[in-house]
Amino acid sequence: MESYRNIFGKLNRAALIPFFVIGDPDKKTSLELVKTAIDAGADILELGIPFSDPVADGPTVQKADIRALHAGMTPKKALDFVGKITAYKSIPIGLLVYYNLINHYGVEKFFMDFKAVGGTSVLVADVSIDNADEIAPLAQKAGLETVFMATPNASQERLKRIADKTTGFIYTVSLLGTTGERSSLSAAVKPLVAKLKKLTDKPVCVGFGISSAEHAAAVASAEADGVIIGSRIVKFIEDNPGRPDVMKQQIADFIRSVRQALEQVHR
């Protein structure tokens, strides 16, 4: 698997990074939906393992976690799921996970197992750079890249440290808050991306609250290297219970429209 740096370097536009909760609404449908997203033009995937107490997530992703948990998803099965995706297509997969799950599994073993099924990077939602030593060396040992979050309320000095601890891409949170759709794009995005770009040459992706092709294009024109879209996509699953074909159609259409919008914004 190529490093993120190469992937971002080769694209002459911002990467499209859809987010799914693994196993939402059930394992079989989830697999089809992720494949649909790949076929419709995703460049990288961000996948989450469902957790009982996802404090970084807003209501949409919380509900997805609950659906997936009810359908029986576990960290072990999630790894198996990742293997099925990478077997379908060689695409970089970033994992978003809460610390308790991998701590319980055994952090080192989890990272090794994730690497073995073709994973690229890990982001532990409740481990900040202050505790990076608990995960980063183990990720590196397993051959995984690390992703850390950067938020609008972080000091310049902290942003620098975040950039230093990141080997994959910086997950820039576009607003203060949890994941979730927003009707307009936060005004904090542009200045934050600009600040990070001045500090580091690590790729900078933007997520949280990006809900439309227009938002994505605006993020891309702010010079971001990638656009992560979560709740808007997960919402297609929530809105169409029991109708996987409709989910598929809506997700495919949406991803195509975002991809098109991103292709208009050249770097």
Which residues are near other proteins by CB under 8 A? 51-59, 62, 66, 69, 74-76, 98-105, 125-131, 148-151, 153-155, 158, 162, 173, 175-178
Burial level of 55, CB count in 10 A (0-12/13-18/19+)?
Answer: exposed
Tell me which of 46, 113, 181, 225 is the catalytic residue.
Answer: 46
Annotated catalytic residue 239: no
Annotated catalytic residue 130: no
Nearer to other proteins, 91 or 138 (CB): 138
In whole angstroms, give the CA distance from residue 211 to residue 206. 12
Smallest gap from residue 170 Cβ to other proteins (A): 11
Q: 197 to each of 3, 169, 201, how far by Cα in Å?
A: 19, 12, 6
Tell me which of 2, 26, 39, 57 is the catalytic residue.
Answer: 57
In whole angstroms, give the CA distance from residue 52 to residue 98. 10
Nearer to other proteins, 228 or 255 (CB): 228
Smallest gap from residue 50 Cβ to other proteins (A): 8
Smallest gap from residue 126 Cβ to other proteins (A): 4
Cβ count near 56 (within 10 Å):
18
Nearer to other proteins, 68 or 144 (CB): 68
Smallest gap from residue 165 Cβ to other proteins (A): 11
Q: Which of 169, 167, 157 is nearest to 199 (CA)?
A: 157
Nearer to other proteins, 76 or 267 (CB): 76
Q: Which of 106, 107, 93 is nearest to 136 (CA)?
A: 107
Tell me which residues are annotated as active site.
46, 57
